[in-house]
Amino acid sequence: MSINYLQSANKLGVKNFDVIVIGGGAAGLSSAVWCAELGLRVLLLEKNAELGGQLLWTHNQIKNHLGIETENGRELRDVFVRQAENFEFDICLNAEIYEIDLANKTILLENGKKVFAQAIILAAGVRRRKLNVEGEDEFKDRGIIESGKRDGQLARGKNALVIGGGDAALENALILSEIALTVTLAHRRAGFGARNEFLEKARENPKIKILTETTVRRILGNERVEAVELHNPVAKQTQIIPAEIVLVRIGVEPNTNNLRGVIDLDERGYIKINSSCETNIKNIFAAGDVANPLSPTISSAVGMGATAAKVISSRLNM
């Protein structure tokens, strides 16, 4: 038994499946593995060119997923994929979905291919929230970096700006402070969501300057980032600070834009599910961070994928 990798939806020979899984991260892979283990015909659709989802932008060590420790998310992804390759199911990479008909369990792909299933598991994950300010897209990879851990060397001897107030923002500020000339941390609120251990270290770090109640108005530069315009609406002050490195960590949002008005979502766009991971539409399930804003972890994603698969199997095999 082994995974049948399809680099394009054009290679899909079969159109009818027991289960279609949307998303190739931890939740999606767990869903597919458990469905295959339970004897179901499974198709996993992943819009990117490789599996992994958010694991691919986890650059720190992973020590809290029971059973294994890895240096980063990609290494854990490799472990998951090696294990998944012991099971038989189809994976279609580069699969862009054009339309989903959840009532009829039908998915139309952008290339015109249509696939059907008796049940669907939505495991599309989340994406990093953007600032949506001038310069953010223009200077991507030209001073705007993705990770302090991965890209930290680019900050050597430079002024860095980190935007956000959660664990990720504080942790990245601390990482960058080891090599940057200065680090400014700008947070739009007065209080922080980060753990005290990160906050205390940042406040004690002479290289880190913390600005609260401060938002970003513009990211400035020519060929690369050179400065950032910040605004404090409480103090009614605007300032431009030098910054050659910018890192944004203002949270995430679920990949559910194509599901609005189709399925029950909460006020933030996360999919509402019951204890069986089922949505308000029969035999439509959701697993992982796209349906779990309270505890978005690798472990919970894996467990939710298994739960959805077990419930589906019990119904289809009745």
* Separation of alpha carbons 289 and 287, rounded Å: 7
Q: Do residues 123 and 287 make contact, with C-beta atoms less than 8 angstroms apart?
A: yes
Do 257 and 242 lie in one domain? The reply is: no
Question: Would you say residue 134 lies in a domain?
Answer: no
Our count of domains for the chain comes to 2
Through-space distance between the first and last CA atoms of the chain, rounded to whole angstroms? 25
* C-alpha–C-alpha distance, residues 225 and 219, integer Å: 7
5 — pLDDT class (breaks 50, 70, 90): confident
Residue 261 lies in a domain: yes
Are 215 and 264 part of one and the same domain?
A: no
64 located within any domain: yes
- pLDDT at residue 25 greater than cutoff 70: yes
Q: Which position has the token pair 């990245």? A: 172
Q: What is the pTM of this model?
A: 0.91
pLDDT tens digit sequence for 207-245 = 999 999 999 999 999 999 999 999 999 999 999 999 999
AA identity, residue 268: R
Mean pLDDT of 19-34: 98
pLDDT score of 8 more than 60: no
Residue 133 forms part of a structural domain:
no
Pairing of strands 182-186, 159-163: parallel
Confidence band, pLDDT 50/70/90 cuts, at residue 12 = low
Q: What is the pLDDT of residue 110?
A: 85
* 244 and 268 fall within a common domain: no
**Domain limit, last residue, from 248, 269, 284:** 248
